[in-house]
Structure 1
Amino acid sequence: MTTTARVATDRDTEDPAQSEGTLRAWAVQSMVLTGRQVLVLFRDRATVLQILVVPALTMVMFKVVLGDAIGSATGSNSAYGTVPLVILVSAMFGSIASGVRLNQERATGLLGRLYVLPINRAADLTSRLGCEVVRIVITSVLLLIAGLGIGFRFTQGPLAVLGILGVALLFGLAFSTFVLTVSVSTRPSVTLVPLLSLFSSVLMFFNSGFSPVDAYPAWLQPIVENQPMTPAIEVMRAMASGGPITANLIKVIIWTVVVVVICAVPALRGYRKAATAR
């Protein structure tokens, strides 16, 4: 084979998407691995039940058990707080399930096998976040549809639906990044579910979804008002039923940026350590 033919052959076999250090490689490989993550997720019937059916039933339960009491105390339809609350709770607990799945792949050695493949080092992590985007959008849409059955309405027009989904995505991505960071940064022997579930439960019960902020003790009100779930719930409520949006939307964006920036580097370092550990 002549030198010219050899060079031509090399050029033909080189695929920029296979060069792990390029931006194109990261994008293409992240998309492929995202597809893998989505397939793995939806083939797990227990997880699908947990992230789709359980939140919808929880929403109905909250409405039946607490709806009248909350409505009497606040003077408004409790569905406008319950539906956003359950959407965010679903995003949180779905992220915990993803973190558990990552630890299982770490224990079986799959994480290590993925790491030694000639792919971009960040592709697997971003694919997990990509899977979270798909999951959050699907569950949020289904929960919004279920919410129509308990009195939730979009009085601000169809664009409100996109706004609500956008806020759910911002909150969900921030929480997913946090969970992934914790998952890859802790020892496999550490039980993640109780720790993360406890943290999620604290956020779930101390926010404005159940009752207004001023119904909490005075010393607790600043914490409830500024914890990540409350501004997200208030923005989603305002987008559906009307009300001020800007101040709480800024809080949601700040929380998202702060969490992602703080967790990005530890997530990459922890992933490398988890994938290469023996």
Structure 2
Amino acid sequence: MRALQQTLTLAWRSLVQVRHNPWELGDYSIQPILFLVLFLYVFGGAISGTPDDYLSYMLPGVIVMNLVFVTVYVGHGLNTDLTKGIFDRFRALPIPRWAPLAGRIVADLAKQSLCILLLLGVGYLLGFRPDSSILAVVAMVALLLLFALSASWIMVLVGVVARDPEHVQLFGFTALFPVTFVSNAFVPVATMPGWLQGVVQANPVSVLTDAVRGLLLGGPVAAPVLGSLAWAVALTALFAPLSVWALNRRLARG
């Protein structure tokens, strides 16, 4: 319980830091809303005939896209603490060695939760209506947060090995753009070239987007949810040990 309390205290520290970095708050709130509105009214008519029809298809994609993008701030914040020596100060405190990293990840999950609810609220104002139960919506949020947790380990590794916070953002966004847009988040797979469709269908962003659509709109659920869970387990199993090893190595090097 003491370790949990210390982790939550460090998570609160990360949340309070948003006051000093308003651009981060914008990425969690203003930016996804802009993406939602712009994609809806610019591409909605061309893709689905009307913006109203496109909203149901596109809103889950925007939620997943933003969830993936903002995991960059886990690595960015961790790299900032490492390069400025704050992590070394944490090591001198009578707290578990894993508490600063866990606090950073817990804070990110709190921000992710706020962003998901914000996008659902804006979508509701624009006319989106879920065609499922409240339990399905809660399950959707839980699935998204679980996937965000697994994806955060990738950015933890980037944050440990990168030279400075700017390189974390440069590498993170450069790598995530093709993964996010080469998916079914905004365009149906059937409209893409045949050689690309297999890649898109195997993309974890596509699998998670299908799961969110199923839980929100009452479509197929079992296969995409199980696929998303499989991707979450695989990403965690691969990147969590690598991240911890790289972090311990960097701290040992001083």
TM-score (norm. length: structure 1): 0.84
Over 4 Å off, 4+ runs: none
Distance 1:91 1:249 in 2: 16
Residue 255 of structure 1 is matched in structure 2 by: 231
The structure 2 residue matched to 1:67, chosen from 44, 51, 59, is 44
Matches within 5 A, 1:209-224: 209-224=185-200
Counting aligned pairs with the same residue, the percent is 25
Do the aligned residues in 2 keep the contact of 1:96 with 1:193 (CA within 8 Å)?
A: yes
Task: Name the structure with the higher helix share.
Answer: 2
Q: Distance in 1 between matches of 2:202 and 2:23?
A: 34
* Pairing 1:79-98 to 2, within 5 Å after superposition: 79-98=55-74
C-alpha contact (below 8 Å) 2:113/2:141 kept by paired residues: yes
8 Å contact kept, 1:71–1:77:
yes
In 1: Cα distance, 2:68 partner to 2:224 partner: 19
1:46 aligns with 2:48: no
What is the CA deviation profile of residues 45-90 of structure 1, one whole-angstrom value per residue up to 9, with x for unaligned ones?
Answer: 12111211111111000001011122139x9922123212221222
Asked if the contact 1:88–1:171 (Cα under 8 Å) also holds between the matched residues in 2, the reply is no
Superposed, 1:170-189 pairs within 5 Å as: 170-188=146-164
Unaligned ranges ≥5, structure 2: none
Give yes or no for contact 1:88–1:172 (8 Å, CA) kept in 2: no
1:117-144: per-residue Cα shift (whole Å, max 9, x none)? 2211111111111111101110100010
CA shift at 1:111, angstroms? 1.3
Assess, with a 3 A threshold, how the Cα gap between structure 1 residues 148 and 189 changes in structure 2: closer, same or farther: closer
**Match of 1:120, SS?**
coil
Q: TM-score scaled by structure 2?
A: 0.92
1:202 to 2:172 alignment = no
Gap regions ≥5 residues in structure 1: 1-23
* Higher Cα radius of gyration: 1
Aligned to 1:105: 81
Q: Are the counterparts in 1 of residues 77 and 104 from structure 2 also a CA contact under 8 Å?
A: no
Task: Give the aligned partner of residue 222 of structure 2.
Answer: 246
